[in-house]
Chain A
Amino acid sequence: MSQDEIAITGEPITDAMCRFSVDRPVYPEKSSYFGSKEQAEGSALAERLFAIDGVRGVQISHNLVTVRKAGMDEWPVVGKQVGAAIREFLSSGESAVSDKFRDAIPSADEIREQVQNVLDTDINPSVAGHGGVIQLIDVKDNVVYIQMGGGCQGCGQADVTLKFGIETAIRAAVDGVGDILDVTDHASGRNPYYVPSAK
């Protein structure tokens, strides 16, 4: 297989996150998230991606590789390095994710149960004070999908609550959680507790 023949397209999702679509599976029918260089040790693709300056998170899912980065370089610049790492990995014949890493991740069911417990005991009783509620929508592999409702939907503080309250509480209580993604349509919030100014 010639490395040059492998087609990879990068589609930036945000300044900090880009999804790379590869024309063949890199981790067939499976998905894993790596939140640090240490977690990536021994996993051939993740280790190569974390060797790129500024990479802070990697999600590998079938033929998709999502990379989160810090730093100043723009995606087309970093993307060339990501593409080279993916091609090098594919030509190596190694497994994208090590058995050790896979075995250490709790199952989606275990994560779901523990996250729901955190929501029930720590988070929802508190946000209820502002008429809010946080629902667990799904757990896929170790990625957690939540939705903010009631007073939290469209609230001016929603992003603060998510990043500094919900994420912190979940990560402190549940091992092996990958990204925590908010799937709320905040623009449709009918009764946000703190109403952002109209500008």
Chain B
Amino acid sequence: MPRILLLLPTTTYRTEAFLAAARRMDVEVTVGSEKLNTLARLNPTALLTLSLHDPERAARQVVDFAAKHPIAAVIAVDDQVTVAAAAICQALSLRQNSVESVLAAGNKYRMRELFQQAGVPSPGFKLCRLDDDAEVIAGQLHYPCVVKPLELSGSRGVIRADDEPQFVRAVGRLAKILDAESTKRKAASRALHFLVEDFIDGPEVAVEGLLSGGRLRVLALFDKPDPLDGPFFEETIYVTPSRLPSDVQDQIAECTSHAAQALGLTEGPIHAELRLDDDGPSVIEVNARSIGGQCSRMLTFGTGISLEELIIRHALDSEWEPPIRDPTGGRDDDSHPAGGYTA
């Protein structure tokens, strides 16, 4: 039975879904977390404490562990452990994204630079310093624009500004968010930079995909029917299957694939956000992880495979072709109104 290493930060809300998927597949599981589980001494081969904030050290720890307990695949369940997963895979010679590619996917400025170099359609951008005079920067910008931190997720700190006063207020607000974040992380200093991007006026979509040897397979395309015009961009409703015309869906897939290539991502799940305007799709971001929130519960593939199971299967066998998504949820004609079925 192969052993997988699940990198589960203690604050993730996806533990249950990944453990259920692993259990269903009959694989041995070792959980790697950044803090000690109180019962680790009772099951040391299943409960590892790893320095996930220090990927090179985490890789050395796992190499030592794997000498006695070979690991067939490493799966990062959240943004914050993708770099550690890449470093561990590199040390174990397992197929994975390079450390450089996941670092780029985790830094919005680096991502924008790589998109620009590769000709991936994406918003115009400018890197700014938080300690520079916001009023001076405000005078140099086109409006509307969007202020963004370089590394936070979940749209935190992403604020639209339609004019100079709004921009100055947005930067002040972002500075407070970054201060709070550095206090929470007990970081020595807060982030120094932020990004200003052109606001793309148009509907937003999300792509859930799986990369294998650099080839993208789109698992689901989500429409976001609520207008995301700002000033804040909190996530609301996702709808899939998409109602967009098939040629637009093809453009979105092609654009996402191009963006993943630009970052150097080649393996595993990706989650991308794009905006559509008259010029076609523009890539807002591509992350080297699966969809956040509870959205994965909506997705089943083939005969009821969960997204988490699909990710684990792919990590164990790159040749495995994921089945297509079942948009109906998999009920058959024997369904009972109450939810049961005739056996």
Contact = CB atoms under 8 A, between A and B. Distances in A.
Contact of A159 (B15, B46, B343): B15
A129 interface: yes
Interface string B265-309: 000000000000000000000000000111000000011111001
B16 A156 contact: no
Given A75-B304, A76-B341, A156 B15 contact: yes
Contact of A160 (B31, B331, B338, B342): B31
Interface of A: 7-12, 14-16, 20-21, 56, 69-77, 79-80, 82-83, 86, 122-123, 126-127, 129-130, 132, 156-161, 163-166, 168-169, 194-197, 199
Contacts of A127: 38-39
Contacts of A83: 342-343
B26 A56 contact: yes
Interface in B4-58: 8-13, 15-16, 19-20, 23-26, 29, 31, 33, 35, 37-43, 46-47
Contacts of A8: 342-343
A161 B39 contact: yes
B327 to A, nearest CB: 15
B305 A72 contact: yes
A169 B11 CA distance: 24
A184 B42 CA distance: 22
Contacts of A76: 330-332, 334, 341
Given A168-B43, A196-B12, A199-B292, A10 B26 contact: no
A161 B43 CA distance: 10
Contacts of B293: 199
B334 to A, nearest CB: 6
B340 A11 contact: yes
B154 to A, nearest CB: 6
